[in-house]
Structure 1
Amino acid sequence: MKNLLFLCFLCCAGVLRAQEMPTNKYGLAVVEKEADYMRMVKADTNMLMVNLSHFIPSIAKDIRYATKHNFTKQVLYQHTAIYLRLPAAKALRTVQQELAQHGLGLLIYDAYRPYSVTEKMWEIVPDDRYAADPKKGSGHNRGTAVDLTLIDLKTKKPLPMPTDFDDFSEKAHQDYILQDSTIAKNRALLRNVMEKNGFKGLSTEWWHFYLPNQAQFPLMNIDFRPTK
């Protein structure tokens, strides 16, 4: 199987081009080399991975997987840089701009995630209710999914939400009936502003949003390090 080739279609000037990519043990094509990534970006600038801290300087972050304060209880990231594909980054910048008009902003918990981290998560918690199955890959591996919440720009504190990040109870579901009207309003505001700008929410996680048609972006296993 490892000698099989997968046709990864890229769009350049409206013309589909095929690039041969080796597949992994699950039959998935995963971009492992920076040279391959750069060729994709040259063919289609939408493939560019953008450092959100530079692209949206006002954005805040709390990268839990760079600490042990996450569901795996292990440090999975060696740095806290946050990246997304260019279309997702542009949409998120618009969200941030809209929220700022109301004294609010975004706090990022996770964005692009190398495929190897998804494999590690699955080793620790092999349950697709809580972790992405590496046989399928994740929107995070494609740079099109983001985990986030709202903060008050003055206090820099997160607004009250139904649960903490990575809470896998029913209370974290988007349709969970909340008794606290303020929390319900905050959850609805986050979902509405994200959906207004092209994202879709995950029904079981109030914090998780992704761009539709994300399969057009290949799975990645490149560790994008923070840049100055």
Structure 2
Amino acid sequence: MKRVLHFFCSVVLACATLHAQAPSFRITPLRPVEQLRAEALQAQPPKETGNFRAADLVELITLDPTIKLDIRYATSNNFLGTPVYTQARAFLQRPAAEAVVRASNALRPLGYGLIIHDAYRPWYVTKIFWDATPNHQKIFVADPKAGSKHNRGCAVDLSLYDLKTGEEVTMPSGYDEMTERAYADYSGGTAEERQLRSVLRHAMTKEGFEVNPTEWWHFDYRDWRQYPIMNIPFESIR
């Protein structure tokens, strides 16, 4: 009986491991993240000139309850290994948010939903990422001197999940992986992984997004130039 029970527990544990959230790619930050956070919170975003649209950040899950959130930067399961957000939320400028919902609607008949890893990102977080990342990996992070499209509320990091199982699909690389496997046109991985990447890309580009060449999960909305760099913390968004 003990042997049977031990076998049963082993099977349950194995299944749980299969469905557990995959660990994120990690770097060794150049300096302690808490030190970088303190500096970033004291810094100021770059000054911009121009006639920008007024910000209209919308929380994605209020527009489409089938959208799932896996906001890695609100957890320690991210490339820095420590939380940088205090809340697991995802916002975009309204036109971009509505475009994501249209993509979600188009994917549903194919059996897939959208899972969001990041969307609007306050500028100070972009500075943390840049200051923490070694020079040879900075191609994967935005320079705070120019700001990020995430800072404008017009970029979203996302993937697909299977509507039947609720599980995130497997892509050619993990989220935030700083290797060539993350490239949008990487030819490796399995045929199924590349096909799923194409399904996501087609749904997003059809709605006015452009994929980042070095990150298959990162999509920029076409109107990003019309919005300013923002440094509003999630707690202040109503």
Q: Write out aligned runs for 1:2-13 (5 A).
A: none
Number of residue equivalences = 192
**1:217 to 1:70, Cα distance in 2 relative to 1, 3 A:** same
- In structure 1, the partner of 2:112 is 104
Verify: 1:28 aligned to 2:47, yes or no.
Answer: yes
Mapped partners of 1:77, 1:58: distance in 2: 23
- In structure 2, the partner of 1:189 is 199
Q: Write out aligned runs for 1:72-83 (5 A).
A: 72-83=80-91
Q: 1:53 aligns with which of 53, 61, 66?
A: 61
* TM-score, structure 2 as length reference: 0.75
- In structure 2, the partner of 1:68 is 76
Where does structure 2 lack aligned partners over 5 or more consecutive residues?
1-42
Q: Greater strand percent: which structure?
A: 1
Mapped partners of 1:121, 1:130: distance in 2: 10
With CA pairs under 8 Å and 6+ residues apart, which has the higher RCO, 1 or 2?
A: 2
**1:225 to 1:57, Cα distance in 2 relative to 1, 3 A:** farther
- In structure 2, the partner of 1:3 is none
**1:25 to 1:225, Cα distance in 2 relative to 1, 3 A:** closer
For the 8 Å contact 2:45–2:123, the answer to whether it is kept is no
**1:177 to 1:221, Cα distance in 2 relative to 1, 3 A:** same
* TM-score, structure 1 as length reference: 0.78
- In structure 2, the partner of 1:225 is 235
RMSD: 2.2
Mapped partners of 2:218, 2:114: distance in 1: 13
For the 8 Å contact 1:67–1:74, the answer to whether it is kept is yes
Q: Greater helix percent: which structure?
A: 2
Where does structure 1 lack aligned partners over 5 or more consecutive residues?
1-23, 31-36, 42-46
Q: Give, in angstroms, the shift of residue 213 of structure 1.
A: 3.9
Q: Write out aligned runs for 1:64-213 (5 A).
A: 64-125=72-133, 127=135, 128-213=138-223
Report % sequence identity: 40
- In structure 2, the partner of 1:5 is none
